[in-house]
Structure 1
Amino acid sequence: MSVIHISSRIAKRKKDIAFNKFYSKQQDSMFQDSQALEILEELYVQHPNAVCLPMYNQKVKLLDQYGLITKASSQAIVDMSDPAFPYILQPIAEDRLKKMHSTIRMHFFVVKLTLACPARVEFCMRCACYAIARRRFF
């Protein structure tokens, strides 16, 4: 292989790494945006069914651009004054939402046990861990 070929492969690899880092950062920012998260939650509740979303909404376009949602079909009958298109949730967004919901449930469970237990908070954290482990294995 020539030196030029090797250097071009290294440059391409660096660009790919930078792009993947940027892409992941943009996906994370969509989960921090309240309007985008509201759209994702609506799709998560209706999953696996498609949800009609406004076609010209900026958040919908960004969610589609960053690979968190996708159009369910290539054609749809729409009202031209306010077009809405069916979208579905991508697996990467579904997994992130599942993790978010399980973390919220687990946190709620720990707080509930902490409030119910008369002992210190450290002891309650141990009780919560034990209770969560019992739920998983029994």
Structure 2
Amino acid sequence: MKTLFTILLFVCSYALSAQVAGNYELTVNTKDRNVFEYKLTLSADGTFSFHYYSNIKNGIPPEKNYYGKGTWTVENNIVSFVSDKQADLDDKHTLDFSTSKARFHIKSNKGKTDKVLKTRLQFLTSEISWMKRVEVFKV
């Protein structure tokens, strides 16, 4: 019985991971022609890569790029990120996602509306202050 339960749990976990894996993006263009881009790739092997780009017209410097990478897991629609300080962080990949968590949102089949709801990740917690409450959409 324990074996059956373990197998069932593994299959359900794998199915959710397969739904979550993919590319997520958000692009924000302001009326002042500033640009903010978030790109997150969750690979099926449990790794992720992240790129943030901003072009602020009056910024110094106007263009900035930040990168992060590491591993991810999902449980109960909460995606947890881990960045290993030795393996994942370097001169290019400076963002540490280790305390970051995001909720996976997908349209339920039980919905009685034809309203289109995009599959998305909403960041709930992160030590990267500008990532809190950011929603990236699956493309």
One fold, TM greater than 0.5? no
Structure whose CA Rg is larger: 1
Give the number of the structure whose residues are more often helix, by fraction.
1
TM-score tier by shorter-chain length is under 0.3
What's the TM-score once normalised by structure 2's chain length? 0.26
Q: Which has the higher strand share?
A: 2
Give me the TM-score of the superposition, normalised by structure 1: 0.26
